[in-house]
Amino acid sequence: MTTIMGEGEHRYRVDMEWAKLPEGWSFHDVAAVAVDSKDQVYVFNRGQHPMIIFDRDGNFLRAWGEGLFSRPHGLHIAADDTLFCTDDGDHTLRQCTPDGKVLMTIGIPGNPSDYMSGEPFHRCTHSAQSPEGDIYVSDGYGNARVHKYSPDGKLLFSWGEPGTDPGQFNIPHNICCDADGWVYVADRENHRVQVFDGKGRYETQWNNMHRPCGICMSCAGETLFYVGELGPGMNVNRNMPNVGPRLSILKGDGTALARLGALPAGEGPARFLAPHGLATDRHGDIYVGEVSFTNQRNMGEEPPADLPTLRKLVKETA
């Protein structure tokens, strides 16, 4: 049976079986997804094969990263199709070719900075690039900071500190940058996205969300943002209505256009467990990666082996 999420201009057909994995392979948790200029889809996951690449139809192309990554977390693809892979397990950001050759490593593998010191990195989470090619890194679980690097990996400056005021962070979990140079930070446990200019100066914030986990912009020529929101983290409010887990589609000013995902959380095609990594392609389709296994264990449950961790939402045309 076909499952449709959303309505009006934001209707999507859910394809849970899109990715055709080789026999015996699994994703475990899909931490991040990204799409290159050829509409090839890169799935950064915590299984035995960390980076798995598919064509737009979900056919397996290749895989790499075995033995390289400790705990995949964030993925960004640059204009030249190189990949920036954020590994919060060994506190690094690696720039790689589409075939997995490491071009640059920022951070010292396995050597985190002191907790909340503000120095890079302590469990960094994601990266983005400015229109000029500078690199922003959200940092992360053990810091409350955003770092800006030159294209060749030189630290330019950092901003942010722990807290709830504008410009402060409580788990800066994801980050993206638009064509005008504005920087959008998913400030997860403060339940907001904060917006900065390229110098780290606070501009505004979007508050109409719950634990924003993943954030990406449309690749289909529209100024739209897609935000994956986690559900409540405590048993006492786990089934609270209207707070997620869900996927929200927002205008450039943060106004919500659509909320996708039936509540409460669940394993079916109309429900999410933990939408963690998002990407769109030039056709308006959305790829959603979930850290379902981690989420269920954090809830005190032992997850079944067949939990969904990746789906494609195919844009329905009128």
For 164-187, b/e burial (b = at least 16 CB within 10 A) is eeebbbebbbbbbbbeeebbbbbb
CA-closest candidate to residue 272, choices 294, 252, 244, 296: 244
What pLDDT shows up at residue 78?
Answer: 97
What pLDDT shows up at residue 200?
Answer: 98
Residue 220: pLDDT above 80? no
DSSP string, 156-191: EEEE--BSSSTT-BS-EEEEEE-TT--EEEEEGGGT
> Is residue 132 classed exposed, middle or buried when 0-12, 13-18 and 19+ CB atoms within 10 A define those classes?
exposed
Alpha carbon 34 to its chain centroid, in Å, reads 9
Residue 44: pLDDT above 70? yes
What pLDDT shows up at residue 222?
Answer: 76
Domain locations in the chain as residue ranges? 4-315
Alpha carbon 202 to its chain centroid, in Å, reads 22
Element (H, E) at 276: strand 275-280
The Cα–Cα gap between 289 and 201 comes to: 31
pTM (predicted TM-score): 0.97
Alpha carbon 229 to its chain centroid, in Å, reads 10
Structure tokens at 89: 């397990």
pLDDT tens-digit map of 110-142? 999 999 999 999 999 999 999 999 999 999 999
* CATH dotted code for 4-315: 2.120.10.30
DSSP assigned state of 10: E
